[in-house]
Amino acid sequence: MTLIASLHLAKETDAQALVEAIGASEALDFPTAATTEQDDKSWVVDIYFEAQPDEALLASIVRDVLGEEAGTFVVAPLPDEDWVAKSLEGLKPVRAGRFLVHGSHDRDKIQPGDIAIEIEAGEAFGTGHHGTTAGCLAEIDRLGALYDYKSILDLGTGTGVLAIAIAMAWHKPVLATDIDPIATRVTAENAALNGVATLIEAATAEGFGNPVFAAHAPFDLIIANILAGPLIALAPEVVRHLAPEKGTIVLSGLLVAQGPSVTAAYEAEGMKLARQGEMEGWLTLTLERAS
């Protein structure tokens, strides 16, 4: 069961400062945090946990960042609701590089030259409207003009939007994996919807011990749009499955404050930071093997 910790604040600057501090907290395992503006121009900070968080530690971080009078987080179960569908209500198509991510109701927004990816609200993360996904799409568009990748992994595929983007733009096969069987089902459905089902292998796999990875490795390109904690923990295995001579890793799902910790984990495995980009407060890192 997912838990949500929420704190109401008056100022956007306070909300952003708190999100950065919490997102960079190794003690909290680098949780996902977000800010939302309210109708009265106040702000709510929400943090998502898969287990009961250390509320004393949360309170300590709030005090350190905002002082004694800032209040405390309220922790409660996340209501059982289709949050992807909810988040898409009223959203417009999103452009990232040559890609246009849209719902079926916005097909008329497609322009000549667009690589249009149709993703409906569903049960898995990765609609293109989130800054991490859009940042990855922009980086995919850039890398495609520079390199000819042969073996590609989309780790933590969600709705499959990144794998679909690669298949549509590059006409290359992609292994798209996720620990959630719902995500891999949604990925397969979206791949078929976008006409690239033959190029995408969607596989449910938890950890690199699954034989599907060995069957496709080494990978020239690995994209992982997940969370900072798992990205750090997976660094040795991700790098081990990368092509030994030339290989690229694109990482996202990160707040800006989490970038140094994630980068350090991959540098310790022989990678170097080649590029980083920020979109809507979220960071995308591109790493290559150090020479």
**149 or 32, higher pLDDT:** 149
- 16: how many CB neighbours lie within 10 A of its CB? 17
Least confident segment among 22-26, 135-139, 161-165, 250-254: 22-26
d(CA 34, CA 227): 13
pLDDT score recorded for residue 122: 55
Residues 6 or more apart from 238 whose CB is under 8 A from it?
155, 222, 224, 231, 249, 266, 269
Predicted TM-score (pTM) of this structure? 0.76
End-to-end C-alpha distance for the chain, whole angstroms? 44
Q: Grade residue 130 by pLDDT with cuts at 50, 70 and 90.
A: low
The annotated binding site for S-adenosyl-L-methionine is made up of 133, 156, 178, 225
CA nearest neighbour of 246 among 214, 215, 275, 219: 219
Question: Could you read off the pLDDT of 180-223 as tens digits, one per residue?
Answer: 888 899 899 999 999 999 999 999 998 899 999 999 999 999 99
If you ran DSSP here, which 8-state letter would residue 11 be given?
A: -
- Kindly list the distances between the CA atom of residue 201 and the CA atoms of 71, 96, 257, in Å, as whole numbers in the listed order: 48, 24, 34
Taken in order of first residue, the domains within the chain and their CATH numbers are 3-80 (3.30.70), 84-289 (3.40.50.150)
Per DSSP (E only), the strands in the chain are 3-9, 32-37, 43-49, 74-77, 94-96, 99-102, 115-118, 152-155, 174-178, 200-204, 221-225, 248-255, 271-279, 282-289
d(CA 281, CA 268): 25
pLDDT score recorded for residue 49: 83
Question: Do residues 220 and 149 touch, judged by C-beta distance below 8 A?
Answer: yes
d(CA 165, CA 149): 14
Question: Do residues 91 and 134 touch, judged by C-beta distance below 8 A?
Answer: no
Here the tokens at position 76 are 């409660």
Query: Mean pLDDT of all residues in the chain?
Result: 86
Question: Could you read off the pLDDT of 226-254 as tens digits, one per residue?
Answer: 888 889 999 999 999 999 888 999 999 88
The amino acid at residue 200 is I
| DSSP string computed for 244-283 | SSS-EEEEEEEEGGGHHHHHHHHHTTTEEEEEEEEETTEE
pLDDT at 175 > cutoff 90: yes
d(CA 173, CA 196): 9
pLDDT score recorded for residue 190: 92
Question: Could you read off the pLDDT of 4-19 as tens digits, one per residue?
Answer: 889 999 988 888 888 8
The annotated binding site is made up of 133, 156, 178, 225
Question: Could you read off the pLDDT of 77-90 as tens digits, one per residue?
Answer: 876 655 445 444 44
Helix (H, G, I), strand (E, B) or coil at 71: coil
Strand order in the sheet with 282-289: 200-204, 174-178, 152-155, 221-225, 248-255, 282-289, 271-279
CA nearest neighbour of 158 among 137, 143, 180: 180
